[in-house]
Amino acid sequence: MLVKGAGSSETWVALLPDFAQALAWAPDGHALAVATLAGPVFLLDAERGERLAAAAGHGGGALAVAWSPDGTQLASGGQDGRVQLFDRSGRRQAELEASTGWVTHLAWSPTGECVAAAAGKKLRVWSRAGELVTDVDGYESTITGLFWLPGTEQLVTSCYGGLQFVTIGKPEWVRRLDWKGSILVAKPSPKGRFIATGNQDATVHVWETSSGKDLQMSGYAWKVRELAWCEAAPLLATAGAPSITVWDFGGKGPAGKPPTELSGHEERITDLAFLPGSERLVSVGVDCALRVWQRRGKWKCIRHLEAATPLHRLAVSHDGRRVAASGDDGRLTSWKL
């Protein structure tokens, strides 16, 4: 299978054998990992998009990729129910049995000592050497979100019915926050004070992590899969339409405050992310557009870039210098910001 990068260090396009289901920048910013629905996992050069390495990946398709915090190991998961660990040359170091279900979410612990995988209704955690350290069942439905709570060694998952908190080594949840709804995505604020979910019923639900107090935002045109927290300010950006809604969590939170609406995309927004450490927001959509927004008193679109195909997945490098977005025809485009 041919993976070819074309273009300059400013903008390049990689031609993949199939849709890029997941993207992850290496912590040092020199490589981009790509999970394709064809099965292979590719490592691409950050500056020109040329192939650095390729791993066999997963039968049926690769669905998730995640770098260890030190950037020496890459984990991938796929439709074969397995997790694979690779080094930066693409050499497989371990193959782990996650479940009979698809592996849709991966997350390394903050220390990099273990990696967690969600597959169907099962959560498993391994050491970086491949030893199983936690195995949790009992989920009411497919796990839809997985992350480590910032500043802790505690895992949080989401599924229909709310959030579940997991401690390594314990086979059952140690806490749960209930909500009778279908959660599509869950993300914590940078310091873990809040956890937001985007939901099937076209709402956003937010919990205060310590107290469990919650609130809900409604009125979206479609189900909400797009959430992004800002590191530089207490802001949550959400999308469930061609516009972006930004909520201010400063002070007593967004209750009673009108949100800010950012308009510019002509069709549905498919992903968004804040640049690290700044109040700049990047969004992509079905209209083939990538837009960069910045708040300087008021919000303004400061850059508008076009791709050759509708855009779906978005990834911002850790230093905020590059952004990559996948198209629905196997094209992967990267821009230098």
DSSP 259: P
Main-chain phi, psi angles of 249, to 5 degrees: -100, 15
Return d(Cα 116, Cα 107) in angstroms, integer.
5
Place of tokens 């937001």: 196
Strand order in the sheet with 175-179: 145-148, 154-159, 161-167, 175-179
Per residue in 220-260, pLDDT (tens digit) is 999 999 999 999 999 999 998 899 999 999 988 888 889 99
CB 255 within 8 A of CB 271: no
Confidence of residue 8 (pLDDT cuts 50, 70, 90): low
DSSP 149: P
pLDDT at 98 over 50: yes
pLDDT at 92 over 60: yes
pLDDT of the residue at 255: 84
pLDDT of the residue at 259: 94
Domains defined for the chain, CATH in brackets: 225-337 (2.130.10.10)
Per residue in 109-155, pLDDT (tens digit) is 999 999 999 999 999 999 988 999 999 998 989 999 999 999 899 99
Q: What angle do CA 224, 29, 320 make, to 5 degrees?
A: 55
